[in-house]
């Protein structure tokens, strides 16, 4: 175990992070970055409590300039380090206000509807086809889809419950009845009581049981690495030239809804974004046609201007 992880200051930070409503993944990332800060100055440097403002700044500059990490990654390091020194050790340094990052926000990769059709048409295993179809249909993150339980689908209300979204936030997303029926048929294949998308476990082929039986007995959900590996295979067969991942299906869902006139606030709610700004990026990649814009403009003329002129003539 590293010297940093056995220090009293690290123990204080550990207790502070676990007292807050952070997700397990966030806690893991926070602790790792503080550990990396301590290790940067080991074995002969001062411990976490004795680091100066200048030394903390030098570590952040090292990440940004020497390691050439993206602005978002450096910010990922800055957040827990600021929590440690500002909130736990009560050091209100100028660093927290003056250290700036140039953050490049790339546009999300998006598939057209035809490209999504080609991708899903090339999924040969039913279990992967089921989860990827749902991710696109409801705009889910991969982790959200894999954590679903059979009871999370409310067919009466036509919604799917996401119990642990990003930041451990819950939400509901609409789901059409055709997709509900498709998921029912998929569940009947394995009938796992705990997971909608169960794993199969290692060595199930050698065990002499069917895939459905292996899934029915599984105590764990399908792994994200298995889905991502399946997507890599699909990329080689779909004929779609642009790069895409499982997460691209979520981006495509949001873009296609906006193209069909769904309000950005509604799309934001479906995606589970806490900030509308995160959803606004999809407006830059929608493919609304020029002809569609002209038709909408002509409709407004008839409904508003033409009616106003007729009313004026009648006076």
Sheet of 159-162, strand order: 153-154, 159-162, 171-174
Measured CA to CA in angstroms, residue 87 lies from 25, 82, 91 at distances of: 20, 7, 8
Q: Which one from 27, 166, 217, 235 is the annotated catalytic residue?
A: 166
Instruction: Tell me the three state secondary structure of residue 160.
Output: strand
Active site includes 273? yes
- State residue 50 phi and psi, 5-degree precision: -95, 0
Give the count of beta carbons closer than 10 Å to the beta carbon of residue 221. 20
Active site includes 141? yes
Instruction: Tell me the three state secondary structure of residue 74.
Output: helix
Peptide bond into 43 cis (omega under 30): yes
Query: Where do the DSSP E strands lie in the chain?
Result: 153-154, 159-162, 171-174
Q: Which one from 250, 251, 256, 270 is the annotated catalytic residue?
A: 250
CA-CA distance, 60 to 290, in Å (whole number)?
A: 47
Q: Which one from 64, 141, 190, 251 is the annotated catalytic residue?
A: 141
Q: Which one from 22, 36, 163, 247 is the annotated catalytic residue?
A: 247
Active site includes 242? no
Positions annotated as catalytic residues are 141, 166, 247, 250, 273, 282
């Amino acid at each position: 175990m590293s010297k940093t992880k056995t220090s009293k200051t690290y123990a204080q930070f550990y207790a502070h992070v676990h007292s807050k409503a952070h997700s397990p993944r966030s806690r893991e990332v926070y602790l790792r970055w503080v550990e990396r800060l301590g290790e940067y100055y080991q074995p002969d440097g001062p411990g976490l409590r004795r680091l100066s403002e200048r030394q903390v700044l030098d570590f952040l500059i090292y990440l940004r300039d020497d390691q050439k990490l993206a602005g978002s990654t450096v910010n990922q390091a800055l957040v827990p380090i600021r929590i440690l020194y500002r909130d736990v050790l009560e050091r209100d340094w100028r660093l927290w206000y003056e250290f700036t990052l140039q953050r490049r926000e790339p546009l999300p990769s998006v598939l057209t509807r035809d490209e999504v059709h080609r991708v899903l048409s090339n999924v040969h295993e039913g279990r992967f086809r089921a989860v990827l179809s749902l991710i696109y249909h409801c705009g889910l993150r991969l982790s959200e889809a894999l954590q679903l339980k059979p009871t999370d689908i409310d067919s009466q209300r036509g919604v799917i419950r996401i119990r642990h979204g990003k930041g451990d936030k819950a939400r509901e997303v609409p789901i059409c009845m055709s997709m509900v029926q498709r998921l029912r048929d998929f569940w009947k294949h394995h009938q796992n009581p705990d997971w909608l998308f169960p794993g199969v476990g290692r060595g199930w082929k050698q065990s002499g049981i069917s895939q459905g039986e292996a899934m029915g007995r599984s105590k764990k959900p399908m792994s994200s690495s298995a889905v991502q590996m399946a997507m890599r295979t699909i990329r080689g067969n779909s004929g779609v030239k642009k790069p895409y991942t499982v997460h691209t299906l979520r981006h495509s869902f949001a873009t296609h809804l906006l193209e069909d006139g769904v309000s950005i606030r509604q799309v934001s709610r479906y995606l589970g974004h806490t900030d509308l700004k995160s959803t606004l990026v999809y407006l830059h990649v929608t493919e609304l046609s020029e002809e569609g814009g002209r038709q909408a403009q002509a409709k407004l003329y008839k409904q508003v201007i033409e009616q106003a002129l007729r009313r004026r003539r009648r006076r």
